[in-house]
Structure 1
Amino acid sequence: MRLIIAEKPSLALAIAEALPGSIKRQEGAINCGDTTVTWCLGHLLEQAAPEAYDPADKQWRLDRLPIVPKQWKLAPRSKARGQLAVIRKLIKQASEVVHAGDPDREGQLLVQEVIEYLKYRGPVQRLLISDLNRPAVSRALAKLRPNAEYQPLFQAAQARSRADWLYGINLTRAWTLTGRQAGHDGVLSVGRVQTPVLGLIVRRDNAIRDFVPHPFYPLWVDLKVDQGQLRAWWIPQEHQPLDDQGRLIDRAPADALASRLPGASGRLAKLDQQEKRQAPPLPYSLSALQVDAARRHGLSAQMVLDICQLLYERHKLITYPRSDCRYLPEEHFSLAQRNLTGACQNDDSLKQWLNGADFSLRSKAWNDKQVGAHHAIAPSGKPADFSQLSATEGQVFRLIVRNVMAQFYRPLRTFEVKAEFNLLDEAFRARGQSILDPGWKPLFTTRDETPPLPPLTQGEACQVLAAGVEERETRPPEPFTDASLIKAMMNIARYVDDPAVRRTLRDTDGLGTEATRAGIIETLVQRGYLVRKQKALRATRLGSALIAALPSAVSTPERTALWEQRLRGIAEQQDDPGAFQHALLDDLRSLLSHSDAVKLRQSLQTAQGEAAAPVKRAGKPKKSYTRRKSTGKSTGKSTVKSKTTSG
């Protein structure tokens, strides 16, 4: 018997349906003639607990650290024992095994570790599938490769798994025991990914706490030009008192200039006009969907993941959701009209979008070269029964359909104008945008972000109708939300200074994966490190204290980049798993030496004091004054409370 072991049930079914012969289901498997297809349920195995190596390590003790297994062991996950038993029985009957994990590092590990754990010694082939359509699966079945070719990929994934265990087990025990000495009764969990995520939030909270606002003074002019009026803003010169964002922080120069401007004449010194075309946003990866669903509907990352799983498994309305890809296989293009028509049958908004689609258009979304282990999330084509969907399920489903539907809309065409006027030897800038063809834009918003300017001609004259100085105030950074934190985890390179590390992080998936990011956020909440305040994610006193007490190397993302460099080298046979672990242990021993009960106690006390401290506030803004041509006199206006972000 040939036994195919898939990573998940949906993949197993797709494989079975592509095999010749009739399908016969049995417990935990599908039989197709002389081939049986079974599946894992994610990872069936996990790294064994420390006490599995030495019973003495069941008790947490500082003098036992670091714990380093001499011979690594795996143990069945508690909820996976039943399926593991099914595979154990089938593999004993198999003359050949086919590894059908996802075509990536973790997919290689997930199935191969089961094969090795069950001590199968026969031939193993590798089946690589990234598209569940039957023709694509059939082609993949005809191109099996020896699994031995992927041994370096397995070694890299195995090295990552063991490194995470060493890092998490030892640092969690060290800081938990240190916490007890400092008076904290509870586990202080430390991890390679979760702790840098917590560090992001703590540093953002600290920036908000320590932020001292200052006023700045933008000066505007209303100008009469040949074919209308517009508003332009003064660009202060470098000799003026400016902050690091180029904003004027002394009102006197603005007031002095404003008093001279009414009635002044000038000319249009620079004019930049160009038509721009913008392609529709690509279909969603999971993280991109989580960002949009959080912004539009206030859904947490975990809620979006849970909803997607229901839409995929229970309702069968979408394709596999835990994808990091925003492209679709080229083969899907011919099926898109049918699938979208089915998806839109029972919803008026979706029908309206469908009626506006032009299925002769082909966007860049269909690109086999960009499709990896999975393709973008897309509707399956099954009609949705919205009476059977919750309100939030309907919202997420419409987003998924919309982003695929947008591929059949024309590009957004705009006419953008940037104008610089010279008045009294000073520069004033204005910008505007006209919509030439809304294309896909109405599917996303009906709001015009930048109003248009009247028609302009290089060198034309202008005259000041009015001028005014506003007093605005800088604002602190915004606290993280589910949307902005997921985006930060996806683009973690932005938060790193070292150029080499930044490059590595740009080439990887950032912090966490599509499947784990939501869980990381929820884990930090459940462990008492984060709390949700309306939409904001804020660090608790405990979370802030832990980051303050840990070495900075533990709470910043650089380690992920350094690990990724080594793991990539292992996968490409340019590095050695043993050397990687040896370097990690040296690093780990150094970090363990920094566990300090006094520092942690002080961090806990400091965090408690800061939580009770009043927030810094700026003084009351002054009034804004407007200069008008008619009188040239100052007229008091109500306080301008608009503010801009400090950067």
Structure 2
Amino acid sequence: MSKSLYIAEKPSVATEFAKALKISGRKQDGYIESDDAIVTWCVGHLVTMSYPEAYDPALKKWTMETLPFLPKQYRYEIIPSVKKQFNIVKGLLTRKDVDTIYVCTDSGREGEYIYRLVDQEAKVPNTKQKKRVWIDSQTEEEILRGIREAKPLSAYDHLSDAAYLRAQEDYLMGINFSRILTLKYGNEVQRLLQSDKRGAISVGRVMTCVLGMVVRREREIRSFVKTPFYRVISGLQAEDKEFHAEFRAVEGSKYFNSPLLYKENGFSEKTSAIKMISDLAGDCPALNEDGTWEAKLAPGEEAKLLAEISNIEKKKENKNPPLLYNLAELQNDCSRLYKISPDETLKIAQELYEKKMVTYPRTDARVLSTAVAKEIYKNIKGLQGLNQVRDFVSEILEKGTYKNIAKTRYVNDSQITDHYAIIPTGQGLSALQSLSHTAARVYGTIVKRFLSIFYPAAEYRKVSITVKIKGESFFTSLRVLEKEGYLKVLGYDKPSSGVGAGSDKANAKDKKDTDENDSSDDENTDQGFMQIVMNMKKGMLLPVNNMVMKEGETAPPKRYSSGSLILAMENAGQLIEDEELRAQIKGSGIGTSATRAEILNKLVTITYLNLNKKTQIITPTLLGEVIYDVVNSSIKSLLNAELTASWEKGLTYVAEGQITKEEYTVKLEGFVSRMVDGVKKLNNQGALTRYFQEAKAFYKK
């Protein structure tokens, strides 16, 4: 009797497939078998690329003459620690009674690569039928759908080509560049760091680019010179309330384009700001010693200095719920809100996925597919068992706001490649008790973001006012929240319990972070004062209570946090904080959603970068700066974020069938050869001393 074989990436996933398929047969060593089916598993990678010495023992020694190393045929080998499981899988794949193989490894490039290597090394006959199972969650219905709709494995050949090329690219750049740079600069680095042992210089296509981003940012901060500037603020009386407006040197001002200005709302010198206040105060009471002025009116005395409203704009503003989470966005928010690393966030997201609680986490998409939108009712309804969001779920179901979601910006098939956004499945709630406190908070964050898209926009009333005091213009903008809309779900200002909750202190911090993330220059106010403002009209006169000079200074660039660095990697080296703009950026960025956390983790492990676990702030180490200077002096293009992103884009083109693997290989080998030959001709080791001394000054103990 012929059998079907299901091969998963991990034992835990294989168990879920066995449950979904009702395979309750005897559990063997490394597989589960029934009368008509077998389920087995890899344990991550079972096969790896061989080191150069496998091609020729002489290549174990690093020499200039053997570089560049560009094998015509790549060699692979079984990873010794998992050889037993490989042999079990190989035996099952080649068993005569197995006629159909269902490939159930993770639905992505790396999952494809894991199986293809096993298939290659096990020499599985092409006479067997091979099908690819592609799923977005590990719920039973999704597993069964994936099996039911499984396509021939050959439909994913382009993806397989891209997977092989990614590995070959990392292999060629890692081996050739690490060896040539170590041979060329290793002794000098050892001398500068006064190290007894000569360590290899570790470089890579993606990780070296990320190192460059962090080192450049650190050096921008060091070289930044703070510049003070001085603003003039007026205090204006409106009925029984005071509000503030800021001077700007717009056209018509005597300071318009004046050399006295640092920028339009600030003077370069303190004396200039004080003189302006003095000129505007005129024959009113004298200035205080600090240059400020107050009206100091006696009871019943009329104001001597008045401001005339020269312009007033009243409008409503809507703020839509944010797009759904992809992995990078989730990692950024978890770094910001909960101070956990991208690597930890990915592990938690993977745990939630394996417990059937959320959909596939390694995704770049922030929208849903049309097909999922049609069934989204199930995801929402399943969350009724979650105490913290039960009221929101009931409201969504009662009002039916999910019914038209397919017509919104949250559903877009063209923005999805492999997987849609990370959302709760509505299942697996029984696993809540087994989650750590942090994992529960991450799950709650995903749930709230998901439910928020079924709520209307938050509505604000905004009023922008311009007043003139003796011909000079002062500006203010006031804003009040009129309808909370989706903020009812995402608001962090209410202490809560259960999933996603923390202490009152933590919730207050969440609110602070949320407010800071809402990049607005408007001054939030209350409904009572807004009513006063709404009654104001152009030409009205307002008493000026005071004028003060406020000193400010320019701020240096911010250091990357682990989360903001992940976002910068996603956006090809640009830290784009505006969510709407990020959504419009096309391209694969640096690395992939599946690898970015791992790359950052490696840079920390090899001590090129330092990650503060409490703040999640990332800084370079002295060693990291030295390696940066080595690369900058030799293979500078490795530090180019746009170029690194273009390599990733090229792999995407291969996966989409737009270019062939042969075309990509020619470009890859040409690049490696040119860079290696270029380094051989250099004679600039001594130049590193100056760079080292400059950096070392910042690492004195």
Secondary structure in 1 matching 2:94: helix
Q: Counterpart in 2 of 1:589?
A: 673
| CA distance in structure 2 between the aligned counterparts of 1:385 and 1:571, rounded to whole angstroms | 36
Task: State whether structure 2 residue 596 is matched by structure 1 residue 517.
Answer: yes
Percentage of matched positions with identical amino acids: 28
Q: Counterpart in 1 of 2:502?
A: none
Q: Counterpart in 2 of 1:239?
A: 257
Q: Which moved more, 1:463-472 or 1:193-202?
A: 463-472
* Structure 2 gap ranges (5+): 191-197, 251-255, 282-303, 494-510, 516-522
Contact 1:274–1:415 (CA<8 Å) still a contact in 2? yes
Q: Counterpart in 2 of 1:444?
A: 491
Q: Counterpart in 2 of 1:626?
A: none
Contact 2:107–2:134 (CA<8 Å) still a contact in 1? yes
**CA positional deviation for 1:379:** 6.0
**CA positional deviation for 1:524:** 0.9
Identify if the C-alpha distance between structure 1 residues 113 and 245 changes in structure 2 by more than 3 Å, giving closer, same or farther.
farther
Give the one of 280, 283, 286 matched to 1:261.
Answer: 280
Give the one of 334, 343, 350 matched to 1:302.
Answer: 343
Secondary structure in 2 matching 1:190: coil
Q: Normalising by structure 1, what TM-score?
A: 0.83
**Equivalent pairs, count:** 605
Structure 2: which amino acid aligns with 1:487?
Answer: L
Task: State whether structure 2 residue 200 is matched by structure 1 residue 200.
Answer: no
Secondary structure in 1 matching 2:534: coil
Give the one of 549, 559, 563 matched to 2:630.
Answer: 549
Identify if the C-alpha distance between structure 1 residues 163 and 327 changes in structure 2 by more than 3 Å, giving closer, same or farther.
same
Deviations 1:133-158 (A, max 9, x none): 44444444343433333322322222
Structure 2: which amino acid aligns with 1:202?
Answer: V
**CA positional deviation for 1:49:** 1.1
Identify if the C-alpha distance between structure 1 residues 596 and 389 changes in structure 2 by more than 3 Å, giving closer, same or farther.
farther
Structure 1: which amino acid aligns with 2:627?
Answer: L
Secondary structure in 2 matching 1:216: strand
Identify if the C-alpha distance between structure 1 residues 80 and 232 changes in structure 2 by more than 3 Å, giving closer, same or farther.
farther
Q: Counterpart in 2 of 1:125?
A: 131
| CA distance in structure 2 between the aligned counterparts of 1:39 and 1:244, rounded to whole angstroms | 64
Secondary structure in 2 matching 1:46: strand
Q: Counterpart in 2 of 1:481?
A: 561
**CA positional deviation for 1:476:** 1.1
Deviations 1:164-196 (A, max 9, x none): 211111111122223332142212110111111
Contact 1:181–1:597 (CA<8 Å) still a contact in 2? no
Secondary structure in 2 matching 1:239: coil
**CA positional deviation for 1:108:** 3.3
Task: State whether structure 2 residue 117 is matched by structure 1 residue 38.
Answer: no
| CA distance in structure 1 between the aligned counterparts of 2:459 and 2:323, rounded to whole angstroms | 17
**CA positional deviation for 1:553:** 0.9
Give the one of 330, 333, 341 matched to 2:376.
Answer: 333
Secondary structure in 1 matching 2:554: strand
Q: Counterpart in 2 of 1:158?
A: 164
Contact 1:4–1:100 (CA<8 Å) still a contact in 2? yes
Identify if the C-alpha distance between structure 1 residues 54 and 381 changes in structure 2 by more than 3 Å, giving closer, same or farther.
same
Identify if the C-alpha distance between structure 1 residues 188 and 235 changes in structure 2 by more than 3 Å, giving closer, same or farther.
same
Contact 2:588–2:645 (CA<8 Å) still a contact in 1? no
Contact 2:46–2:79 (CA<8 Å) still a contact in 1? yes
Alignment of 1:627-642 (within 5 A): none
Identify if the C-alpha distance between structure 1 residues 24 and 223 changes in structure 2 by more than 3 Å, giving closer, same or farther.
farther
Structure 2: which amino acid aligns with 1:230?
Answer: F
Secondary structure in 2 matching 1:224: strand
Identify if the C-alpha distance between structure 1 residues 244 and 173 changes in structure 2 by more than 3 Å, giving closer, same or farther.
farther
Identify if the C-alpha distance between structure 1 residues 226 and 598 changes in structure 2 by more than 3 Å, giving closer, same or farther.
farther
Identify if the C-alpha distance between structure 1 residues 589 and 282 changes in structure 2 by more than 3 Å, giving closer, same or farther.
same
Deviations 1:15-63 (A, max 9, x none): 5455477666444334465333333333332222111111111112222
Structure 1: which amino acid aligns with 2:121?
Answer: Y
Contact 1:130–1:371 (CA<8 Å) still a contact in 2? no
RMSD: 3.5
Contact 1:285–1:377 (CA<8 Å) still a contact in 2? no
Alignment of 1:411-450 (within 5 A): 411-442=457-488, 443-446=490-493, 450=523
| CA distance in structure 1 between the aligned counterparts of 2:75 and 2:332, rounded to whole angstroms | 38
Identify if the C-alpha distance between structure 1 residues 218 and 87 changes in structure 2 by more than 3 Å, giving closer, same or farther.
same
Give the one of 343, 358, 364 matched to 1:324.
Answer: 364
| CA distance in structure 2 between the aligned counterparts of 1:159 and 1:296, rounded to whole angstroms | 37
Contact 2:590–2:648 (CA<8 Å) still a contact in 1? no
Deviations 1:549-580 (A, max 9, x none): 21321112122232234334333444232232
Q: Counterpart in 2 of 1:71?
A: 73
Secondary structure in 2 matching 1:494: coil
Task: State whether structure 2 residue 418 is matched by structure 1 residue 373.
Answer: yes
| CA distance in structure 1 between the aligned counterparts of 2:89 and 2:672, rounded to whole angstroms | 37
Q: Counterpart in 2 of 1:81?
A: 83
Identify if the C-alpha distance between structure 1 residues 372 and 26 changes in structure 2 by more than 3 Å, giving closer, same or farther.
farther
Secondary structure in 1 matching 2:679: coil
Identify if the C-alpha distance between structure 1 residues 155 and 182 changes in structure 2 by more than 3 Å, giving closer, same or farther.
same
| CA distance in structure 2 between the aligned counterparts of 1:193 and 1:268, rounded to whole angstroms | 56
| CA distance in structure 1 between the aligned counterparts of 2:219 and 2:310, rounded to whole angstroms | 44
Q: Counterpart in 1 of 2:501?
A: none
Task: State whether structure 2 residue 114 is matched by structure 1 residue 110.
Answer: yes
Give the one of 380, 385, 395 matched to 1:342.
Answer: 385
Contact 1:213–1:475 (CA<8 Å) still a contact in 2? yes
Secondary structure in 2 matching 1:95: strand
**CA positional deviation for 1:77:** 3.1
Identify if the C-alpha distance between structure 1 residues 236 and 85 changes in structure 2 by more than 3 Å, giving closer, same or farther.
farther
Structure 1: which amino acid aligns with 2:630?
Answer: A
**CA positional deviation for 1:381:** 3.4
Alignment of 1:367-406 (within 5 A): 367=411, 369=413, 372-375=417-420, 376-378=422-424, 381-383=427-429, 388-406=434-452
| CA distance in structure 1 between the aligned counterparts of 2:563 and 2:575, rounded to whole angstroms | 16
Q: Which moved more, 1:384-393 or 1:526-535?
A: 384-393
Structure 2: which amino acid aligns with 1:60?
Answer: W
Structure 1: which amino acid aligns with 2:621?
Answer: T
Q: Which moved more, 1:570-579 or 1:461-470?
A: 570-579
Task: State whether structure 2 residue 94 is matched by structure 1 residue 92.
Answer: yes
Secondary structure in 2 matching 1:182: helix
Q: Counterpart in 1 of 2:497?
A: none
Q: Counterpart in 2 of 1:223?
A: 236
Structure 2: which amino acid aligns with 1:276?
Answer: E
Structure 2: which amino acid aligns with 1:297?
Answer: Y
| CA distance in structure 2 between the aligned counterparts of 1:245 and 1:106, rounded to whole angstroms | 53
Contact 2:315–2:461 (CA<8 Å) still a contact in 1? yes
**CA positional deviation for 1:208:** 0.7
Identify if the C-alpha distance between structure 1 residues 512 and 357 changes in structure 2 by more than 3 Å, giving closer, same or farther.
same
Give the one of 549, 552, 557 matched to 1:472.
Answer: 552
Identify if the C-alpha distance between structure 1 residues 504 and 189 changes in structure 2 by more than 3 Å, giving closer, same or farther.
farther
Q: Which moved more, 1:477-486 or 1:237-246?
A: 237-246
**CA positional deviation for 1:282:** 4.2
Identify if the C-alpha distance between structure 1 residues 247 and 486 changes in structure 2 by more than 3 Å, giving closer, same or farther.
farther
**CA positional deviation for 1:609:** 4.1
Contact 2:373–2:411 (CA<8 Å) still a contact in 1? yes
Q: Which moved more, 1:82-91 or 1:368-377?
A: 368-377
Secondary structure in 1 matching 2:245: strand
Q: Counterpart in 2 of 1:622?
A: none
| CA distance in structure 2 between the aligned counterparts of 1:465 and 1:250, rounded to whole angstroms | 24
Contact 1:339–1:382 (CA<8 Å) still a contact in 2? no
Alignment of 1:49-64 (within 5 A): 49-64=51-66
| CA distance in structure 1 between the aligned counterparts of 2:455 and 2:84, rounded to whole angstroms | 48
Deviations 1:351-392 (A, max 9, x none): 677687666332558747355534414265334677754433
